[in-house]
Amino acid sequence: MTDNAFAFGLGVGTHNSKGEWLEVFFPRPLLTPSPELAAAAAGLDSNSALSADALRSLQSSLADAGETEQATLAGRLMDSGRPAVAVLLADDLPPENVPQGYLKLHLLSHRLVKPHGTSLDGLFGVLPNVAWTNEGAVDIDELPERQLNARLRGDVLEVSCVDKFPKMTNYVVPSGVRIAHTARVRLGAHLGEGTTIMHEGFVNFNAGTDGPGMIEGRISAGVQVGAGSDLGGGCSTMGTLSGGGNIIISVGRECLIGANAGIGIPLGDRCTVEAGLFITAGTKVTMLDAQGLPVETTKARELAGKSDLLFRRNSTNGAVECLTNRSAVELNEELHANN
């Protein structure tokens, strides 16, 4: 099973007072590690902290396998005295514990896999809810005592958020991106080169951009935004966690979703959604021809994934309309041919 392992990571993390994992940082995760590395890490418990002897043995095995960088990391973990863990994922299966879950989130944010590129089934049940503070991750049940201890020292324990997911930039800062408000990008986001996340932009885990692109709206879980696409201020993409069900929502290349608009269907390339207009799968859309005359009315789900569409609302009667660079008749024939 180790000949074609899915992923590997050496990490350092935080335990609560019961010795349970709260979070794990993987500085150099690997996708499809070499058979030699997989053999060196085979048999290690992905949910147990490594003893100094186990780390020493792993370091030696990694060095013998020619994995110099990972061997060096093992030595640094051994010297730190902090809880360390080695995770070898032989197959891409749903995560069974906190270290496995965090390794998969790191794979996404390190751009080693794209959204939907690894199984995250059951992740919410695996990850604990954590208080993220200026002293690191703190178990919720242990927070009052930690706050009291800080006050008795004359300090304040700053709690930035209480969540299952930390902010990405405390773990990974991908190259070539700008993030105006780091708390609005969760670990597990996948940000392509050239992506800018403005102050009101938000990117969930297992979601992100191919880059470049300007994001001033919300990229919900499971949504991927294509290169050259912009999301206007306050706009929204409906993800699998926000009512999208099993439909995978995506945005193609060079699209524009206007301010306060939203989509509940996948868009093809070069599509535009007018500001303030929310398109769901069941939205009735009137197709217009080249002269701006109505051809027929269909539901938005029938337009899912089609390119070169402009969605707008008729200012007179309120109807949602769709124009296309191609004739509406041509598009209509294509839709019926796919039935």
Q: Residue by residue, what is the 3-state secondary structure of 106-149? A: HHHHCCCCCCCCCCCCCHHHHCCCEEEECCEEEEHHHHHHHHHH
Nearest alpha-carbon partner for 201 in 187, 188, 182? 182
What pLDDT was estimated at residue 185? 98
In SS3 terms, the chain reads as CHHHCCEEEEEEEEECCCCCEEEEECCCCEECCCHHHHHHHCCCCCCCCCCHHHHHHHHHHHHHCCCHHHHHHHHHHHHHCCCEEEEEECCCCCCCCHHHHHHHHHHHHCCCCCCCCCCCCCHHHHCCCEEEECCEEEEHHHHHHHHHHHHHCCCCCCEEEEECCCEHHHCCCCCCCEECCHHHEECCEEECCCEEECCCCEECCCEEECCCEEECCEECCCCEECCCEEECCCCEECCCCCCCCCCCCEECCCCEECCCCEECCCCCCCCEECCCCEECCCCEEEEECCCCCEEEEEEHHHHCCCCCEEEEECCCCCCEEEEECCCHHHHHHHHHHCC
b/e per residue 147-171 (b: at least 16 CB within 10 A): beebeeeeeebeeeeeebbbbbbbb
What are residue 147's DSSP bridge partners?
none
What pLDDT was estimated at residue 247? 77
Beta-sheet pairing, 84-89 with 159-163:
unpaired
Nearest alpha-carbon partner for 87 in 198, 8, 176? 8
Neighbours of 1 (CB within 10 A): 9
Residue 216 is a catalytic residue: yes
What's the length of the chain? 339
Q: Domains in the chain, please, with CATH?
A: 2-123 (3.30.70.2010), 132-163 (no CATH), 168-337 (2.160.10.10)
* Contact indicator for 57, 73 with CB cutoff of 8 Å: no
Q: Which residue in the list 20, 145, 193, 216 is annotated as catalytic? A: 216
Query: pLDDT of 264-288, one tens digit each?
Result: 999 999 999 999 999 999 999 999 9
Q: pLDDT tens per residue, the chain (339 residues)?
A: 445 899 999 999 999 999 999 999 999 999 999 999 999 999 999 999 999 999 999 999 999 999 999 999 999 999 998 999 999 999 999 999 999 999 999 999 999 999 999 999 999 999 999 999 999 999 999 999 999 999 999 999 999 999 999 999 999 999 999 999 999 999 999 999 999 999 999 999 999 999 999 999 999 999 999 999 999 999 999 886 544 456 789 999 999 999 999 999 999 999 999 999 999 999 999 999 878 888 899 999 999 999 999 999 998 999 999 998 654 445 445 544 544
What pLDDT was estimated at residue 124? 94
Q: How far apart are CA 232 and CA 251, in angstroms?
A: 13
What pLDDT was estimated at residue 292? 82
Q: How far apart are CA 35 and CA 20, in angstroms?
A: 30
Beta-sheet pairing, 30-31 with 7-15:
antiparallel
Global confidence as pTM: 0.91
